[in-house]
Amino acid sequence: MRLLVEMETKSDVGFTPRMKPKKPKNTRTPKRKPGPSDKEAQIVQRLLKCGQFLQRETNTVCRQFGLKQQQFSVLNEIVWQGPISQKALCERLLFEKSNLSKIVKILLEKKLIRVAVAPGDRRMTLLSETPKGVALWEDCLQAFNQVSNRLMSLLADDEVAGVTRLLKKLEKAFKSQGR
């Protein structure tokens, strides 16, 4: 009885208890037709999904060798480029300076790289690989190549060439924008 009185009181101030409306069965929200900008967004979304997949795969490989993917990227660049400054590494890898400093510190602690004074400019330091770093890099690179071969075997040779050409074109466009 008390509940009934409370409901009547609340309904006097504009509150009326209602049941939830039933949803009609088998109705779907109609899909929008893709517009011109949606196609570009779909391309970006697909690239992001591929990037996430590749990052997951490369992280799995790197973990086997006690590295993170970004640490391997830095070690890889140092091995390929030879002695290189942190500034040049930032530019090549598109890393933030603070992130690169942390990665370099970790690689130094693991004795995978070393720091030396540049011969022509004593104010500048160069990063280079150690024998231990090269050995780890070779092992990790071999595992990377196995993953790459497995993934690229899903595509025909002409598709690989086409994807490579388009990715180079995108990379060049991104770099020309200063990003």
Given a cut of 90, whether residue 105 has pLDDT beyond it is yes
Distance CA 161, CA 16 (A): 67
- Give tens-digit pLDDT for 118-169: 888 888 889 999 999 999 999 999 999 999 999 899 999 999 999 999 999 9
Closest CA to 81 of 48, 113, 49: 113
Strands 113-117 and 125-129: antiparallel
Q: 58: which strand partners?
A: none
**Overall average pLDDT of the 81-101 stretch:** 91
For position 118, what pLDDT does the model report?
84
**Residue 50, domain member (yes or no):** no
**Overall average pLDDT of the 6-15 stretch:** 48
For position 130, what pLDDT does the model report?
96
Number of domains observed in the structure of the chain = 1
- The one-letter code for the residue type at 19 is M
Residue span of the structural domain in which 125 resides: 67-157
**Residue 18, domain member (yes or no):** no
CATH code for the domain of 89? 1.10.10.10
